[in-house]
Amino acid sequence: MSERIKHWPGKRLSSKELTGGKVTTTSTDPKVKYAWACGEAISRFLEELKNGKLIGRKCNSCNQILFPPRMFCEDCFTPTNEWVYVKDTGTIETYSISYLDTDARRIKDPIYVGVLSVDGASEKQGIMHYFGEVTPKTIKIGMKVKAVWKPKKDREGAITDIKYWRPLRRGEK
Amino acid sequence: MRKVACIGAGMTLFWRRLQETGKEMCWEAASMALDQAGLTLKDIDMVVLGSAPDAFDGIHMKGENLLDGAGGAKKPYMRVFTGGGTAVFTPIAAWWHIASGLANKVLVLCEEKMSSVFPHPQSAFGHIWDPILDRPLKPNLVWIFAMEMNRYMTKHGIKKEDIARIAVKNKRNAVDHPCAQLPDPNITVEDVLNSEVMAWPVQRLDISPPSDGASALVKTSEKVAKKVSDDIAWVEGTGWCIDKTMWTCRDLVFPEYVARAAKQAYRMAKIDNPRKQIHVAEPYDPFDYKECHHTEGLLLCDKGKAPSMTKEGITYRDGDLPICPSGGLLGVGNPIAATMGIKAGEIYWQLTQQAGKRQVKNDPEVGVCQAWGDLMQYGSVLVMRRG
Amino acid sequence: MQIMSGAVDTVAVESHSKISDLLTYSDVLAFALDPIYNRPIGGHPHYLAGMEMRRFLRDSKCTEKDCARVVVKNRTNALKNVSSAYGTKLTTDDVKRSPEVFSPLRQLDISNLVDGSIVMVLASAKKAKEICDNPVWITGIGWNSDTPWIENRDWGRAEYAESATQMAYKMAGIKHPSSDIDFAEIDDKFSYKELEHIQAAKLCRKGEAGKRLRKGTFDSEGRLPVNVSGGSLGCGNLVEAAGLHRAMEVALQLRGHAGRHQIRKVVKRGLALSWRSIPTATGGAVVMEVGR
């Protein structure tokens, strides 16, 4: 009982107490290494990135084009049926402007990152990626964007073969 | 379906670094809950423990390591885990144990020791991302919330200040919680809006702090509860639901998974008009916008209208529908699974009129709590009624 | 429990291993040890199995050769199981000749890791009768954990398995497991574990596991076949999914769907017993039946 409880257990430590040798600690640095199998769908997707192309999978049962590709449709719970190339243009679904890097360290030049849905795939089929050639003022949800690829010789079959997505220019498809 | 009662709750302080080990924190919280229930460990049939990823405590299969502190040794003991959703999923799992007829007295534990990761829990969170599609972009976990928050705000035309008000409410509420890590009696909306931008639109004061902590509940069958306790809250409804794994293919505007979990729980609790029939709510609030998101998911207001409830004063302790009267994760702290103490625990204390200074003013009969987890797509919902 | 509570009617239970993605298995296993007392000792945590095996052999009158017989039996059984990865013909001498790794544990006493996924569909009695002609009934379940302190355990017996099976037997109304149960799928991540678990589950009298094994009681044609599927030694160790694998094999046998490794005699009641492996003392048991 919140009121009747007189003592709430726990001894609070400051960061100084913890690192300053006042409290006994022990540490481990685990050796954890993985080699992920990419599976059939994503392996092909990564291969196609080297060619500067984006590929999805079509489910003939619900007619959705899934991107990134998957070998099964989670809505129908049946195998997907065919490979379909999609465009390297899309729409910004949402974005963030990040002032933190991956280890929560502060960075000077912010990262524009977001989710985009890709043209040629079904609604809400998309990936997370970087955006470029934008400012906090110009970037908008709903903005049309196009992939900026690395030069062919630098591509390695990774999501980073696309450098970033920039605003689609007038008249461009 | 057998009736299930909650007859005791306990929790430790929430703090960035506690001196106690995970086992010790579990034992402290468990002892408090048992004391309150008027039972001892010998009386307990089975134990359920909830704890989030092993990476935080730094022990593989950490449920096994914590089991003596949790009182599980030589008993049927299980650990459940649905990410942040564990905070409410664990009491749901305890409900199965009793409602199924397998147990009569269950001890429920939730523990998290996030300070064990160096230099920051963020490095452990990195493993949440898809290794092939997401990790090469060197993401920070805050991104995913920032993207969701931006879409929620943009689609509904919600102002940042209306969301910041949630953080202010909860951090002020937390002043009355003896375990709180980040209470602030003087915080203002301007403070939130002027705090450091982490990943726009998320700013420092929009976020709950990582913590160490443990919490516990005691649940029993109807027969046991009536014999040993005067402070009973009945578990009336449980629900849980998960959305797609591919988070980039989801609707980020509305948490459909929470709505489905809530409907499941409400159906069980025979609630057809939650806005009228629920009197106090503890939705999961690791971010201020998430309280809004989840309030809408719990069907307590129309889509996009949650921020205005706080603007109108409805969600304060003296309002018509108090939300996060505990101070929430934003004010009390966010030791992931252990936030059971300020979700299910707080609803128990509120319904049995034991919340002291935090007691809401509308004499609540029915309360709901909810947690959210896994890769942003898991909802667990629990409805309780006072005995 | 989800079904028994009345919350839901049907549940799909999935469990899988994709252990091949992990390159540092022993390091992750070591990460499960107590960080203050045990982890600093170092080494491959399988030494714990070696320690337990030695004590078990001393207390149980089983021999190293009995353990080798378990390996031979299970890997031979696996030859008939289409989903097994390690089925082969071996002799007890082959096991004896395999290198001692954590004495008395030899290389061939240890199951090999494997990838795989298991799914079982459970339903309430009402629903099952509606949608299924030959459902298998779960009549008893039990689970238990011993102390997490490896220093405080009884090394000669699997107490968690005793408690878990007792709980399941009580629920299923089983008084004499060794005669009431027709066959069993029992955790054998290490060869001696099968014998230890057989004793814990009271499928033979205390101290008789080795003797019964030598007499052929646990062979696929025996009175109480154990791990006809090949177990983890024969099929491969699915790590955390190994328990559901045992349960699934029991269901397959009871439905007569085990194909080439179907037990010849008619089986009506089976036991599955799981263990979470090193360094835990946690296990679960389930009794399944047909024709009730």
Which two tokens mark A130? 């970087």
The yes-or-no verdict on residue C76 having pLDDT over 60 is yes
Contact C92, C72 (CB under 8 A): yes
Average pLDDT over residues B99-127: 88
CB hemisphere CA count around B73 (13 angstroms): 12
**Which pLDDT score, from 0 to 100, does residue C42 have?**
85
Among candidates C143, C128, C167, C135, which has minimal Cα distance to C3? Answer: C128
For the domain with range C10-289, which CATH number is right: 2.40.30.10, 3.30.360.10, 3.50.50.60, 3.40.47.10? 3.40.47.10
Structure tokens at C169: 């037997």
Name the average pLDDT for chain C.
Answer: 96
For residue B305, which of B320, B319, B318, B291 has the smallest C-alpha distance? B291
Q: pLDDT value at position A1?
A: 46
**Cβ neighbours around C159 below 10 Å, total:** 18
Exposure class string for B100-118: b at 16+ Cβ within 10 A, else e? bebbbbbbbbbbbbbbbbe
Mean pLDDT of B23-45: 96
Q: What is the mean pLDDT of residues B150-158?
A: 97
Considering CB atoms only, which of C20, C22, C35 is closest to A28?
C35
Q: Check residue B58 and give its pLDDT.
A: 86
A30, A31, A37: residue with CB nearest C21: A37
pLDDT at C157 over 80: yes
Confidence of residue B357 (pLDDT cuts 50, 70, 90): very high
3-class SS at C162? helix
Residue type at position B318: D
Q: What is the pLDDT of residue A15?
A: 80
Mean pLDDT of the region A50-70: 96
Q: How far apart are CA C42 and CA C30, in angstroms?
A: 8
Neighbours of A75 (CB within 10 A): 12
What stretch of H or E contains A46? Answer: helix A39-50
> What span, in angstroms and rounded, lies between the C-alpha atoms of B203 and B189?
12
Q: How confident is the model at residue C292 (pLDDT cuts 50, 70, 90)?
A: low
DSSP state of B255: -
Which residues, numbered 48 to 77 in chain B, qualify as contacts with chain A under a Cβ-Cβ cut-off of 8 Å? 58
Give the residues across from B10 on adjacent strands.
Answer: B216
> Does the beta-carbon distance from C29 to B60 stay under 8 Å?
yes
- Dihedral sign from CA coordinates of C270, C276, C280, C282: negative
CB neighbours (10 Å) of residue B162? 18
Per the CB < 8 A criterion, the answer to whether B31 and B241 are in contact is no
Q: How far apart are CA B170 and CA B160, in angstroms?
A: 16
pLDDT of the residue at C99: 97
DSSP three-state, residue B303: coil
B280-304 confidence digits (pLDDT tens): 999 999 999 999 999 999 999 999 9
Q: What's the rounded Cα separation, in Å, for the pair B154 and B148?
A: 10
d(CA B51, CA C191): 32
C99 touches chain A (CB under 8 A): no
CB contacts of B59 in chain C (<8 Å) are: 31-32, 34-35
- C55: confidence class by pLDDT, cuts 50, 70, 90: very high
CB atoms within 10 A of CB B363: 11
Binding partners of B (≥3 Cβ pairs within 8 A): A, C
CA C228 to chain centre: 11
Q: By the 8 A CB rule, do A60 and A82 touch?
A: yes
The whole-number average pLDDT for the span C204-210 is 93
Determine the pLDDT at residue C43: 86
Percent of chain B with pLDDT over 90: 89
Choose, out of B54, B60, B82, the residue to mutate when testing the contact with C (most C CBs < 10 Å): B60
> Does B125 score more than 90 pLDDT?
no
**A37 interface with C at CB cutoff 8 Å:** yes
Least-confidence region, from A97-111, B5-19, B364-378, C172-186: A97-111
Span A72-95, pLDDT tens digits: 999 999 999 999 999 999 999 999
Count Cβ–Cβ pairs < 8 Å, chain A vs chain B.
171
Residue partners of B276: CB distance under 8 A and separation at least 6:
none
Residue B371 reports pLDDT greater than 70? yes
At C236-268, the pLDDT tens digits run 999 999 999 999 999 999 999 999 999 999 999
Q: Hey, where are the domains in chain B?
A: 4-118+209-386
Helices C47-60 & C191-200 angle (0-180, nearest 10): 50
Query: Looking up tokens 């993605």, which residue turns up?
Result: C21
> Could you tell me which of B76, B121, B91 has the C-alpha nearest to residue B286?
B121
The single residue listed with the structure tokens 């009390």 is B332
Among A24, A25, A27, A31, the residue to mutate for chain C (most C Cβ within 10 A): A31
Say what the pLDDT of residue A2 is. 52
- How many Å apart are CA A17 and CA A25, to the nearest integer? 11
Check CB contact of B358 with chain A, cutoff 8 Å: yes
| Chain B with chain C: Cβ pairs closer than 8 A | 84
Q: Lowest-confidence range among A90-94, B35-39, B112-116?
A: B112-116
| CATH number for the segment(s) B4-118+209-386 | 3.40.47.10
Work out the minimum CA distance from B20 to partner chain A, whole angstroms: 7
Provide the pLDDT for residue B281. 98
Residue from B147, B212, B218, B243 to probe the interface with A (highest A Cβ count within 10 Å): B147
pLDDT bracket for residue A5 (50, 70, 90) = confident
Put simply, the answer to whether A13 touches B19 (Cβ < 8 Å) is yes
For chain C, give the number of residues.
Answer: 292
With residues binned 3-state (H G I as helix, E B as strand, rest as coil), the percentages for chain A, rounded to 5, are 15, 35, 50
Average pLDDT, chain A: 92
pLDDT at position B367 is 98
Mean pLDDT, chain B, rounded, equals 95
Of residues B141 and B49, more confidence is placed in: B49
Asked whether the beta carbons of B385 and B351 are under 8 A apart, the reply is yes
